[in-house]
């Protein structure tokens, strides 16, 4: 079994930032259908440095099929919009390579390389040109932080689902991103595993990372979120600070969603099309 040095070398924390991120008139067409429509919003820095007053954890909530995952993938640059523009405005926003380096994403279903837990984290650091010694320290630190220290040499595919999700989170955190996109990272986890992931998210925020996370777990959103973006049928229907949103959403759809009344068969028939966006 490997032994773990306990150091905390920041990989990219001294690099310039890429936030804020702005979506202007963004639309996306899939199979001839407009699945995201006229998205306009600005995602600010969060907990780090000069942006300490901005929300650190932005939650994207909405019913299944609302477009939450596509929204995150658009922001992360995995897919390109068919309309409008997704643009970073931070000091390092002119550097395309830096934009890729300073963000990370964890998917709902963790996709891990067919290697050991250690090698999964090491891979990300290696392609960023981190030295072997630094990689070893960082891998050990992250595996311990995510409670996977004793699984360092275990094949990632042999880990349980919860452990795989924590490993995916560790891998995303490895290069010390400025912003972390999380696509329902606790959706298939038991309460204990979900709690562990939530702790890791809190630790990431404490270390200055911006979290943009999708979820339809309202309890989790209430516990963790600083602000809420409510999406319905590919449109942003409401954006508000989390307490304000949960205490009294302005949008009827958001209110119905919170009350558990937003049924899939009522979406088209009851609620009118083309409702105004809030932000």
Binding mask 116-135 toward other proteins (x if CB under 8 A, else -) reads: -------xx--xx-------
What order do you get walking across the sheet with 83-88 strand by strand?
33-43, 21-30, 83-88
Q: How many residues bind other proteins (CB under 8 A)?
A: 27
Q: How far apart are CA 99 and CA 178, in angstroms?
A: 10
Q: Is 233 in the site for other proteins (CB under 8 A)?
A: no
Please answer whether residues 110 and 156 qualify as being in contact, where contact means their C-beta atoms are separated by less than 8 angstroms. no
Pick 119 or 217: Cβ nearer other proteins: 119
With CB under 8 A as the contact rule, which of the stretches 29-37, 87-95, 105-113, 129-137 interacts with other proteins? 105-113
Smallest distance from the beta carbon of 98 to other proteins, in angstroms?
10
179-183 and 210-215 beta bridge pairing: parallel
**Residue in the structure block whose two tokens are 């890429």:** 18
Please answer whether residues 41 and 229 qualify as being in contact, where contact means their C-beta atoms are separated by less than 8 angstroms. yes
Between helices 132-145 and 161-173, what is the axis angle to 10°?
Answer: 140
Query: Can you list the positions of beta strands (E) in the chain?
Result: 21-30, 33-43, 57-61, 83-88, 103-106, 179-183, 210-215, 227-232, 235-241
Smallest distance from the beta carbon of 97 to other proteins, in angstroms?
8
Binding mask 47-86 toward other proteins (x if CB under 8 A, else -) reads: --------------------------x--x-x--------
Beta-carbon contacts of 78 under 8 Å, excluding residues fewer than 6 positions away, are 105
Please answer whether residues 141 and 203 qualify as being in contact, where contact means their C-beta atoms are separated by less than 8 angstroms. no
Q: Is 167 in the site for other proteins (CB under 8 A)?
A: no
Q: Is 100 in the site for other proteins (CB under 8 A)?
A: yes
Smallest distance from the beta carbon of 111 to other proteins, in angstroms?
4
Q: Is 192 in the site for other proteins (CB under 8 A)?
A: no
Pick 213 or 236: Cβ nearer other proteins: 213
Please answer whether residues 172 and 101 qualify as being in contact, where contact means their C-beta atoms are separated by less than 8 angstroms. no
- List the one residue from 56, 104, 169, 229 that touches other proteins (CB under 8 A): 104
- List the one residue from 80, 153, 157, 206 that touches other proteins (CB under 8 A): 157
Residues in contact with other proteins by the rule CB under 8 A: 73, 76, 78, 97, 100-101, 104-105, 107, 111-115, 123-124, 127-128, 155, 157-161, 163, 171, 175
């Amino acid at each position: 079994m490997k032994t773990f040095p306990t150091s905390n070398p920041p990989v990219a924390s001294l690099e310039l930032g890429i936030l804020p991120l702005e979506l202007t008139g963004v639309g996306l067409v899939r199979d001839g259908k407009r699945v995201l429509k006229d998205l306009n919003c600005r995602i600010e820095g969060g907990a780090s440095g000069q942006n300490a007053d901005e929300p650190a954890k932005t939650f994207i909530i909405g019913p299944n099929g609302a477009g939450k995952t596509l929204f995150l993938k658009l922001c992360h640059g995995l897919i390109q919009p068919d309309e409008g523009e997704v643009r970073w405005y931070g000091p390092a926003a002119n550097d395309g390579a830096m934009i890729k380096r300073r963000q990370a994403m964890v998917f709902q279903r963790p996709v891990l390389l067919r290697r050991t837990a250690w090698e999964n984290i090491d891979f990300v650091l290696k392609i960023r040109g981190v030295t072997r010694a630094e990689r070893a320290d960082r891998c050990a630190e992250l595996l311990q932080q995510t409670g996977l220290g004793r699984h360092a040499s275990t094949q990632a595919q042999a880990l349980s689902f919860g452990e795989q999700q924590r490993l995916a989170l560790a891998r995303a955190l490895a290069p010390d991103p400025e912003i972390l996109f999380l696509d329902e990272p606790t959706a298939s986890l038991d309460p204990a595993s979900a709690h562990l992931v939530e702790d890791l998210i809190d630790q990431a925020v404490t270390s200055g990372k911006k979290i943009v996370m999708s979820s339809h777990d309202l309890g989790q959103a209430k516990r963790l979120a600083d602000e809420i973006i409510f999406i319905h049928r590919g449109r942003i229907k409401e954006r508000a600070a989390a307490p304000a949103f949960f205490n009294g959403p302005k949008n009827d759809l958001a209110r119905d969603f919170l009350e558990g009344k937003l049924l899939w068969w009522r979406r088209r028939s009851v609620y009118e099309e083309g409702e105004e966006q809030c932000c």
